[in-house]
Amino acid sequence: MNKSGVKPAEGKLGVLTVGLGAVSTTFITGVLMTRKGLAKPVGSMTQYDIIRVGEGEDEKYLKYNQIVPLAKLDDIVFGAWDVYPANAYESATNAEVLKEKDIEPVKDELVKIVPMKAAFDKNYAKRLDGNNVKDCKTRWDMVQELKKDIQNFKKTNNCARVVVLWAASTEVYVPVDEKVHGTLAALEAAMKADDREHIAPSMCYAYAALTEGAPFIMGAPNTTVDIPAMWELAEKVKLPIAGKDFKTGQTLVKSGFAPILGVRCLGLSGWFSTNILGNRDGLVLDEPANFRTKEVSKLSTLESILVPEKQPDLYTDYYHKVRINYYPPRNDNKEGWDNIDIFGWMGYPMQIKINFLCRDSILAAPLCLDLVLLSDLAARAGRYGIQRFLSFFLKSPMHDYTKKEVPVNNLFEQYVMLKNAIREMGGYKADQRID
- CATH number of the structural domain spanning residue 128: 3.40.50.720
User: Is 380 domain-assigned?
Assistant: yes
* 72 lies in the same domain as 113: yes
Compute CA distances 255 → 11, 192, 334, 335, 419, whole Å.
37, 40, 18, 17, 17
User: Is 213 domain-assigned?
Assistant: yes
Q: Write down the pLDDT at residue 3.
A: 54
* 113 lies in the same domain as 182: yes
* 72 lies in the same domain as 195: yes
* 114 lies in the same domain as 254: no
Residues near 57 by beta carbon (within 8 Å), at least 6 away in sequence = none
User: In a 3-state reduction of DSSP, which class is residue 5?
Assistant: coil
For residue 282, what is the domain's CATH number?
3.30.360.10
* 397 lies in the same domain as 257: no
User: Rounded distance, CA 52 to CA 417, Å?
Assistant: 14
| Contact of 70 with 46, CB cutoff 8 Å | yes
Quickly count helices (H) and strands (E) in the chain: 16, 13
Q: Write down the pLDDT at residue 358.
A: 92
| Contact of 89 with 22, CB cutoff 8 Å | no
* 210 lies in the same domain as 112: yes
Compute CA distances 358 → 10, 260, 361, whole Å.
37, 22, 9
| Segments of the chain scoring below 50 in pLDDT | 1-2
Q: Which run of H or of E encompasses 151?
A: helix 139-156
How many C-beta atoms surround the C-beta of residue 211 within 10 A?
16
pTM higher than 0.75 for the full model?
yes
User: Is 5 domain-assigned?
Assistant: no
Long-range contact set of residues 313-316: C-beta below 8 Å, sequence gap at least 24? 313/267, 314/265, 314/266, 314/267, 314/268, 315/267, 315/268
* 35 lies in the same domain as 177: yes
In the chain, the percentage of residues whose pLDDT exceeds 90 is 85
Domain boundary residue among 359, 375, 397? 359
Compute CA distances 219 → 228, 244, 253, 294, whole Å.
18, 6, 18, 11
Strands 333-343 and 349-359: antiparallel
* 73 lies in the same domain as 198: yes
Residues near 64 by beta carbon (within 8 Å), at least 6 away in sequence = 45, 46, 49, 51, 70, 422
Domain boundary residue among 327, 359, 391? 359
Interval 129-152: pLDDT, tens = 899 999 999 999 999 999 999 999
**Residues written for the chain:** 435
Strands 116-117 and 76-82: parallel
User: Rounded distance, CA 422 to CA 314, Å?
Assistant: 35
* 178 lies in the same domain as 33: yes
Q: Write down the pLDDT at residue 434.
A: 79
* 140 lies in the same domain as 254: no
User: Is 6 domain-assigned?
Assistant: no
What backbone phi and psi angles, to 5 degrees, belong to 254? -65, -45
User: Is 435 domain-assigned?
Assistant: no
* 333 lies in the same domain as 382: no
Q: Write down the pLDDT at residue 298.
A: 66
User: Rounded distance, CA 288 to CA 276, Å?
Assistant: 15
* 308 lies in the same domain as 378: no
Reference 216, options 252, 197, 243, 185; nearest CA is 243
User: Is 431 domain-assigned?
Assistant: no
Long-range contact set of residues 416-420: C-beta below 8 Å, sequence gap at least 24? 417/388, 417/389, 417/391, 417/392, 418/45, 418/389, 418/390, 418/391, 418/392, 419/51, 420/389
Q: Write down the pLDDT at residue 338.
A: 96
Q: Write down the pLDDT at residue 277.
A: 85
DSSP 197: T
Strand partners, 90: none
What is the four-CA torsion angle of 189, 192, 194, 200, rounded to 10 degrees?
70
User: Is 432 domain-assigned?
Assistant: no
Can the peptide bond before residue 244 be classed as cis, meaning omega within 30 degrees of 0? yes
User: Is 67 domain-assigned?
Assistant: yes
Q: Write down the pLDDT at residue 1.
A: 42
What backbone phi and psi angles, to 5 degrees, belong to 195? -80, 90
Domain boundary residue among 359, 383, 407? 359
Number of structural domains (the chain) is 2
User: Rounded distance, CA 324 to CA 434, Å?
Assistant: 35
Q: Look up the domain containing 314 and give its range.
A: 250-359
